[in-house]
Amino acid sequence: MQVTGDTKGAVFGGLLSAPLMPTPKKKYQGTSETFVFTDVSGQPELYHPTGANRYFVLCTNDALALGGGGHFALHLDNDLLTGSSGSCATFGNMCLAHSEDFIVKNVELWGFAHSSRYVPRAASFKEPTEAPGVCRW
């Protein structure tokens, strides 16, 4: 998941359905489970794929972008300090930020992984002994 904010108070971003894999060439990734969101209007708005194309996520060594076909729904430069947003065919969205070009206030990138990939096969689950909600493998 990517969450971004501009200096005028908007919060926007997208849920990516696959891990980011930076490539030197422009190659779109992701699936139709990807979507973008914004609260620029004061109400949360979700934009799901329209089916117009498969331009879900573009992750190069220079930038990160969601959507395509006209403009990117969200584009962050490689320094993560500036970005742009516009209407795109992939999600049928309007500009996600207060203006098409914006200064990034903050960026959060969250990744989720299936825990079984990182647990040795001989490990076993133990009940928490310290605090409630803490599990040890």
Q: What single string gives the DSSP state of each residue in 61-126?
A: SSEEEE--SBS-SEEEETTSSEEE---BTTTTB--SSSSSEEEEEEEEE-----GGGSS-TT---B
Residue 122 vs residue 49, higher pLDDT: 49
Q: Is residue 18 part of a domain?
A: yes
- Among the ranges given (12-26, 86-100, 103-117), the one the predictor scored with the smallest mean pLDDT: 103-117
Q: Is residue 127 part of a domain?
A: no
Mean pLDDT value across residues 50-64? 94
The pTM is what? 0.79
Q: Is residue 129 part of a domain?
A: no
Q: Is residue 61 part of a domain?
A: yes
Q: Is residue 119 part of a domain?
A: no
Residue 102 vs residue 2, higher pLDDT: 102
Q: Is residue 125 part of a domain?
A: no
Q: Is residue 45 part of a domain?
A: yes
Q: Tell me how far apart the alpha carbons of residues 129 and 76 are, in angstroms, rounded to a whole number.
A: 43
For residue 101, list its beta bridge partners.
84
Tell me the residue range of the domain where 96 lies: 2-112
Mean pLDDT value across residues 81-85? 96
Number of structural domains the chain divides into: 1
Say which residues have a Cβ less than 8 Å from residue 41's Cβ, sequence separation at least 6: none
